[in-house]
Chains A and B, each alone.
Chain A
Amino acid sequence: MSDLVVLRPEGLYCPAGDFHIDPWRPVERAVITHAHSDHARAGHRHYLAASPSAHVLRARLGEIRLQTLDYGAALDIGGVRVSLHPAGHVLGSAQVRLAHRGTVWVVSGDYKAAPGFAAEDATCAPFEPVRCDAFISESTFGLPVYRWQPQARIADEINAWWAGNADAGRASILYAYSFGKAQRILAMIDARIGPVYCHGATEAVNAAYRASGVALPPTLPAGAGVAADDRRRALVLAPPAAQGSAWARRFGEAADAFASGWMQLRGARRRQGVDRGFVLSDHADWPGLERAIAASGASRVILTHGQVAVMVRHLAAQGLDAQAFATEFAGEAGSAADAGAAAPGAAAGAPGAEVAAPASPAATAA
């Protein structure tokens, strides 16, 4: 039986249905798992994505030919039955289920999976396990050192940090990815502590979330300037790129922090050069990856990005047919592996070049 999904130079491809999933080169027909830029790129002729992602996708890609599909609903593309199921990553993120001649494959995109697949993140539907024969998974945090705390505990930490800064009369700048992480944080915080300001990039996504019906506390654009009184109690959400910029200095004496799964490791936290690191990720931790892979019931697992070699070997040791696809997905920004943007004196390569070649289980499990 031939594979339902294969790797092509354009990206993941379904030969039976003649369409791509999250391709990185322009194609005729693209099924999009979610609106992050390494998965949803401009230039395709037709887009298919989950209904809740429509506003965010359009906010990021402008006018595209977009067809949406509700979670759980199915569509026939070239004889392949395609349905989308919540991935719990960000608003509108979906796993793509492909059924063809009795075989089921699932492409998960990026996902997070809390214990019991509980709904922790108020800004998107929680991960929903889908039974399949082959599961194509990310592995961004595929090492046993990555274990997330319950979201409520991180919320307490962030609120305590913010309140402490407010009492000391200084602003709290929290760096977080502008799409997904920032809105999740907005839904986590105790907005009674003080005013909340957002960087323009974050504010644009907030608008798309609100238009999609996600409840977020009131926010103010930081671009227009911040009242002196507000400055002392404000929480400011900004993308990581704003760290150390002139933009960040406008808040005067401020405490700063970074919210990311990478903050789990002291080395990464210290390298980031912020006062605090909050361990908060929209990707699955090690137990989450194991949980999702087990719940899929798949006997074959293909890893696309992150700690691919480790996960392949780990799954192979458990008797699964595990392999890798060398994709151009980047995982969570801010990792050591994809941080080097401007490389001196060498040819530019693909992000995530850590994954040099597809590793076969036989080679890596030796």
Chain B
Amino acid sequence: MRRFARLFAALDASTATHAKLAALKAYLAEAAAADAAWAVYFLAGGTPRRTVPTRVLREAALAASGLPEWLFEECYQAVGDLAETIAHVLPAPAAEDDLGLAGWVEERLLPLRGQPAATVRERLIDHWRVLDWPGRFLLTKLIGGGFRVGVSRLLVIRALAEHAGVDATVVAQRMMGYTDTDALPTAERFARLIAAGTDGPVAAGAPYPFFLAHALADPAALGAVADWQVEWKYDGIRAQLVRRAGQAWIWSRGEELVTERFPEIAAAGARLPDGTVLDGEIVACTDGRRPAPFALLQKRIGRKTLTRRILAEAPAAFIAYDLLETGGSDRRTLPQHARRALLEATLAHAAGPGLLLAPVLDAADWAGCAALRAEARARGVEGLMLKERAGRYGTGRTREAGTWWKWKVDPYSIDCVLIYAQAGHGRRAGLYTDYTFAVWSDDAPERRLVPFAKAYSGLTDDEFRAVDAVIRRTTVEKFGPVRSVTPSLVFELGFEGIQASPRHKSGVAVRFPRMLRLRPDKKVEDADTLARLRELLAAGAPAAA
């Protein structure tokens, strides 16, 4: 545990990639395989099922620190992170012990699940007592399930690859599914990650690392349109459909196995020949052809159990746009157009309910592309994808193998007023960065500001600090962590979609809202109105099928 805590401290203390990589490699060189297995699991984003409810964690911290609840709450508001707050307020450790990370997780952490609250509290306090500050912080983070450190999965993969002397793409592929909740890490699984050899046998259901697109502002620099394969950019869940050994697996881009959540797609996958892997997008699809708004899919994502009714209301389909494997062979090094031909041949037999072929769009020139892009909103898609016809299928957000561009439609935008603010977490702890925005109601002259969206991204650190200062100065009331302010700041808010929503005061729900810019030139009175939101709603709703 101490070794992993030291690694965490080193990763946390530095913002430099080379220093983080060096710390990771140093850890891998000295850690026992069973411990390294868990370290890689956590660093790559793995989260075991929750062992201790937050309430019990807080109770144990209050008991151990002797602080009154209100004071603990004040601390938490200032720190913005429960585990860090707890580590700060606990009394000094009594002794330290030498148990490794695997021992801590397997013998002490996981067995806490399902124990009576009183037992959990007692054991937590015992555990904290034998750990120094970094150890306590880390343990509590792991318990709380909020363990995040400034290390990307890609960097972990790079460290493993350099440690083992194995190609990074091979390690990336072996890492697929490693952080799956149902498969806990072991020394054996870790050994397989770093085994010598360049191309170990791909585990039966494993997907390939996803190839990611870059945002495009202007296609003019891309050369001839004929060099690019043009497709719609779908608004769904990026996924791979894997068909091997008589089974189908569906993996989302978060490397989560989601087969059970999309039974209709899994059933369609059974129509594919063995040894096939498709890349595409899961969308809700009510008419069997055309994607429905993302909100419909979201309805399903939230459900633990899929009732017959949900399946009928929001049927899902996999829109396939690339082919990574046929006949059990990796096709990623083929050029895009050749993969497309294989995809079309494969789908000629397999397409049907639950599995659709993404059309390739025709455009004579960039102006034609722009015209297509202008239709995107009405068609319920996010814009266009431009894929280099000669390009291979890369790993992650690389551009060496060829490039995928996403050319999204411009976001909707609206001028609105900041009315509530809440402090952020992590890097933004103690700084008011999460805002609620309002527009004017229509009933002049007594119009009111009606909240319609929350956003917490889009400003620079300096802008956040400046807005934070205004919020502190113009606070009217505090409700727990939330402050209401005297309206004084106008923002231009951007968002991707708009839906009617009876659950919201404003009657609309917007998708991916973020701050485009501060509008110091505008007065609060000049902000937009509910009527304007309703216009956007009417204009932007996908055409009825």
Contact = CB atoms under 8 A, between A and B. Distances in A.
A343 interface: yes
A345 B488 contact: yes
A264 B87 CA distance: 12
Interface stretch (A15-23, A111-119, A221-229, A310-318): A310-318
B71 interface: yes
Interface in B464-487: 465-470, 472-475
A346 B488 contact: yes
A356 B475 contact: yes
Given A265-B79, A271-B431, A346-B488, A144 B89 contact: yes
Given A337-B472, A344-B489, A268 B88 contact: no
B428 interface: yes
Given A145-B88, A310-B71, A345-B488, A271 B427 contact: yes
A348 B196 CA distance: 64
B489 A144 contact: no
Contacts of A4: none
A145 to B, nearest CB: 4
B20 to A, nearest CB: 11
A356 B485 CA distance: 13
Nearest to A337: B472
Interface stretch (B7-15, B230-238, B346-354): B7-15
A361 to B, nearest CB: 14
Interface in A247-289: 264-268, 270-271, 273-277
B470 A343 contact: yes
B469 A143 contact: no
B78 A343 contact: no
A147 B88 contact: yes
A265 B429 contact: yes
Contacts of A144: 65, 67, 71, 75, 88-89
B470 A145 contact: no
Nearest to A364: B70
Contact of B431 (A145, A274, A336): A336
B421 interface: no
A299 B14 CA distance: 46
A340 B79 contact: no
Contacts of A314: 71
Given A144-B67, A356-B475, A336 B85 contact: no
B409 to A, nearest CB: 29
Given A344-B467, A354-B472, A266 B12 contact: yes
A338 B430 CA distance: 12
A310 B76 CA distance: 13
Contact of B74 (A143, A268, A336): A143
A338 B466 CA distance: 10
How big is chain B's contact interface, by range?
A: 35 or more
A266 B81 contact: yes
B469 A145 contact: no
Interface in A308-363: 310, 313-314, 317, 336-346, 349, 353-354, 356
B302 interface: no
Contacts of A338: 469
Nearest to A350: B473
A266 B488 contact: no
Interface in B198-237: none
A276 B10 CA distance: 10
B276 to A, nearest CB: 44
A275 B13 contact: yes
Given A271-B428, A349-B473, A344 B75 contact: no
Contacts of B472: 337, 340, 353-354
Nearest to A342: B466
B470 A267 contact: no
Contacts of A339: 465, 468-469
A340 B74 contact: no
A266 B149 CA distance: 11
Contacts of B12: 266
12 contacts: A145-B78, A265-B430, A267-B430, A270-B426, A273-B15, A275-B16, A340-B468, A343-B466, A343-B467, A343-B470, A345-B518, A353-B472
Interface of B: 12-16, 19, 65, 67-68, 70-71, 74-75, 78-81, 84-85, 88-89, 150, 424-431, 461, 463, 465-470, 472-475, 488-490, 518, 520
Interface of A: 143-147, 264-268, 270-271, 273-277, 307, 310, 313-314, 317, 336-346, 349, 353-354, 356
State the 7 A-B residue pairs at the shortest beta-carbon distance, nearest first.
Answer: A340-B469, A267-B429, A145-B88, A345-B520, A270-B427, A349-B473, A336-B430
Given A144-B88, A276-B13, A345-B489, 7 more contacts: A264-B88, A266-B81, A270-B15, A273-B461, A339-B468, A339-B469, A344-B467
